[in-house]
Amino acid sequence: MDSSAGAMRGLSRKKPDRVAGLIEKARQNGADHAVLIPASSVVTASWVVWKCRYGCEDFGRTHTCPPHSPPWTETAALLREYEKALLIQADQSFRIRYLVYFLEREAFLLGFHKAFGMGAGPCRLCESCDIHAPCRRPEESRPSMEACGIDVYATVRSHGLDVAPLKNEKEPQHSYGLVLLT
Ligand code: SF4
């Protein structure tokens, strides 16, 4: 009797409903867009981290930036272990960093035990990041997509979303994050 009721409860928790709930939570918490995508559509490339190495003043300065973040080959292997992910857009990178942490936790609590979030830009949770000491907020801190070698431009455009380099500070910003789900 009990096990049958348990089975019924298990059957009633269908994944599409949980995903719809996550998308709604993303929107309620500041995402402009949240779409379910195949993990296989996330593009990785070696050149991405070279852009960090030659051009970003934060290179090597946070636990979540290259060369401390996972190399792109490891990210490519990680992506092969997933089927679906949530791609999230917001107007600021700090909002994305909050959202991926929040949604990863929500997804985990909903039963997506593999849920893992990746944000945008260098981690700014602390005033300064001491890379010679352990991370002070490891539960919340996540690497950005680009720090892990994800070609954000190619990935985002393949799903019809808008992304372009900012020509000046007045242009609207579109930041992206990813929450790997299943
Ligand atoms: S949470 Fe703090 S210590 Fe950890 S990566 Fe971010 S800035 Fe560095």
Q: Is residue 61 part of a domain?
A: yes
Predicted local distance difference test score (pLDDT) of residue 16: 57
Give the total number of structural domains in the chain.
1
Q: Give the containing element (helix H, strand E) for 162.
A: none
Looking at the CA of residue 124, tell me the nearest atom of ligand 1.
7
Q: What is the pLDDT of residues 80-100, one digit of tens each?
A: 999 999 999 999 899 999 999
Q: Residue 25 carries which side chain, given as an amino acid letter?
A: K
Q: Is residue 116 part of a domain?
A: yes
Query: What are 87's strand-pairing partners?
Result: 35, 178
What is the distance in A from the centroid of ligand 1 to the CA of 64?
7
From the CB of 125, is ligand 1 less than 6 Å away? yes
From the CB of 131, is ligand 1 less than 6 Å away? no
Q: Is 159 helix (H, G, I), strand (E, B) or coil?
A: coil
Per the CB < 8 A criterion, the answer to whether 180 and 116 are in contact is: yes
From the CB of 39, is ligand 1 less than 6 Å away? no
Characterise 60 by phi-psi region: left (phi > 0), alpha (psi -120 to 50), beta (else).
left
Alpha carbon nearest to ligand 1 atom 3, residue: 135
What is the distance in A from the centroid of ligand 1 to the CA of 56?
17
Predicted local distance difference test score (pLDDT) of residue 162: 78
Mutate-to-test residue for ligand 1 from 58, 93, 97, 123, highest number of ligand atoms within 8 A of CB: 123
Q: Considering only CA atoms, which of 135, 7, 150 is closest in space to residue 73?
A: 150
Range of the domain at 169: 14-180
pTM: 0.87
Q: Is residue 5 part of a domain?
A: no
Predicted local distance difference test score (pLDDT) of residue 8: 47
From the CB of 136, is ligand 1 less than 6 Å away? yes
Q: Which residues of the chain have pLDDT under 50?
A: 1-8, 11
Question: What Å distances lie between residue 96 and 27, 55, 134, 161, CA to CA?
Answer: 12, 22, 23, 16
Kindly compute the dihedral angle of the four CA atoms of residues 149, 138, 37, 12, in this order, to the nearest 10 degrees. 160
Look at the block and give the residue holding tokens 């352990």: 134
Which residues lie closer than 8 Å to 147 by C-beta, 6 or more apart? 49, 52, 64, 65, 66, 69, 122
Residue 32 DSSP symbol:
S
From the CB of 62, is ligand 1 less than 6 Å away? yes
